[in-house]
Amino acid sequence: MLKPQQVRQLVVAAETGSFKSAATATFRSQAAVTLALRELEHTLGARLIERDRRGKFTPLAHALVPMLKEFLTVHDLVYAQARQLAQGLEGSLSVAVAPFLAAQWLPELLVEFAELYPDIRIRTIEERSSRIRGLVADGGVSIGVAGLLADDPKLRITPVAIDAYGVLCSRAHPLSRKRTVSWSSLKGATLIGSDASEALTATGLAPPLPAPRLVITSRAPLLACVARNLGLTVLTTLTRPEPDRTFAFLPLTRPHLSRQVSILTRRSDSLLPAAQRLVDAMAKSLRAYAAARGARAA
């Protein structure tokens, strides 16, 4: 098997006619270079140095130089890329994030991460939390960020925040003047179903609610319908829009319910170094975002 250092010593020595140059280029003594070239002759099964003329290389050695230079170019390229990958400086990753977090939290994280690691390629998709679990568990994406109401044995879960439920309504809605809202007070309200409310209802944790007038799981149309006062919707602290004159967000009480926002990866797989870098950056960024938005740390 060809050893790159021996090949490099032969190329330098044959091109310069100097064992000293080969020793300097590879940080070895001239005696070590001589021994290395003898070993290379044994590996190739042919003479590379003329025996009767000190420092004179055979025609075979000179004929091999162009081919061996190509070998070194490929070796150095592969080695550099392998080092980049092993150190988490290169890689291709896929990430699934719930729509509201994708719109409000994710862009700033991606900007900061790209500045630090420009050679890590990231593909992001928006998906409902209930589907993100399956995408990560099945290997459809490398990393997911979702709200969880129960654990999953297929997933490695990194808790980030405890995200409480509340009601989002238009400022024109009568409930907007309250500070908090009980679940029981929603019985006669016109509801617009969301991903958050559907997932909560499916677990049976929430008190019974009236059937929703609409079910909208995409962010933009959901907010547009609430803004037009077509109904109110159940969201969580981290997924509510920024406070403004359009919306009111009221914490839901009696009972106080919350979900755990977590970063998800496959339990059965170790992470690429690049993926671990992204998970670490996500956890730090999302915890800061959660604190700023009033959610509790997990």
CATH number at residue 45: 1.10.10.10
- pLDDT reading at 55 higher than 90: no
> Measuring CA to CA, which residue among 60, 56, 57, 36 is closest to residue 46?
60
Assess contact for 82 and 89: CB atoms under 8 A: no
Report DSSP letters for the chain, one per residue: ---HHHHHHHHHHHHHT-HHHHHHHTT--HHHHHHHHHHHHHHHTS--B-TTSTTPBPHHHHHHHHHHHHHHHHHHHHHHHHHHHHTTSSEEEEEEE-HHHHHHTHHHHHHHHHHH-TTEEEEEEE--HHHHHHHHHTTSSSEEEEEESS--TTEEEEEEEEEEEEEEEETTSGGGG-S-EEGGGGTTS-BEE-HHHHHHHHHT-SPP-PPPSEE--SHHHHHHHHHTTS-BEEEEGGGSPPP-SSEEEEEEESS--EEEEEEEEETTSPPPHHHHHHHHHHHHHHHHHHHHHTPEE-
Q: pLDDT by residue (tens digit) across 177-228?
A: 899 999 988 888 999 998 888 888 878 888 888 889 899 888 889 999 999 9
What pLDDT does 53 receive? 60
What rounded mean pLDDT belongs to the chain?
86
Confidence of residue 85 (pLDDT cuts 50, 70, 90): low
Instruction: Kindly state whether residues 193 and 111 are assigned to the same domain.
Output: no
Instruction: Kindly state whether residues 43 and 179 are assigned to the same domain.
Output: no
Mean pLDDT of 256-270: 89
Confidence of residue 90 (pLDDT cuts 50, 70, 90): low
Instruction: Kindly state whether residues 139 and 285 are assigned to the same domain.
Output: yes
Instruction: Kindly state whether residues 12 and 77 are assigned to the same domain.
Output: yes
Instruction: Kindly state whether residues 101 and 241 are assigned to the same domain.
Output: no
Of 56, 86, 116, which one is at a domain's C-terminal end? 86
With 0-12 / 13-18 / 19 or more C-beta atoms within 10 angstroms meaning exposed / middle / buried, residue 148 is: buried
Instruction: Kindly state whether residues 133 and 74 are assigned to the same domain.
Output: no
What pLDDT does 17 receive? 82
Instruction: Kindly state whether residues 206 and 218 are assigned to the same domain.
Output: yes
Confidence of residue 100 (pLDDT cuts 50, 70, 90): confident
Give the domain range for residue 80. Answer: 4-86
What pLDDT does 159 receive? 93
Cα separation of 49 and 38, whole Å? 8
What pLDDT does 98 receive? 86
Instruction: Kindly state whether residues 172 and 212 are assigned to the same domain.
Output: yes
Q: Is the pTM value of this prediction over 0.85?
A: no
Instruction: Kindly state whether residues 235 and 106 are assigned to the same domain.
Output: no
Instruction: Kindly state whether residues 169 and 233 are assigned to the same domain.
Output: yes
Cα separation of 234 and 248, whole Å? 12
Confidence of residue 254 (pLDDT cuts 50, 70, 90): confident
Q: pLDDT by residue (tens digit) across 65-76?
A: 888 888 877 777
Instruction: Kindly state whether residues 154 and 273 are assigned to the same domain.
Output: yes
Mean pLDDT of 1-19: 84
What pLDDT does 180 receive? 92
What pLDDT does 223 receive? 93
Domain count, the chain: 3
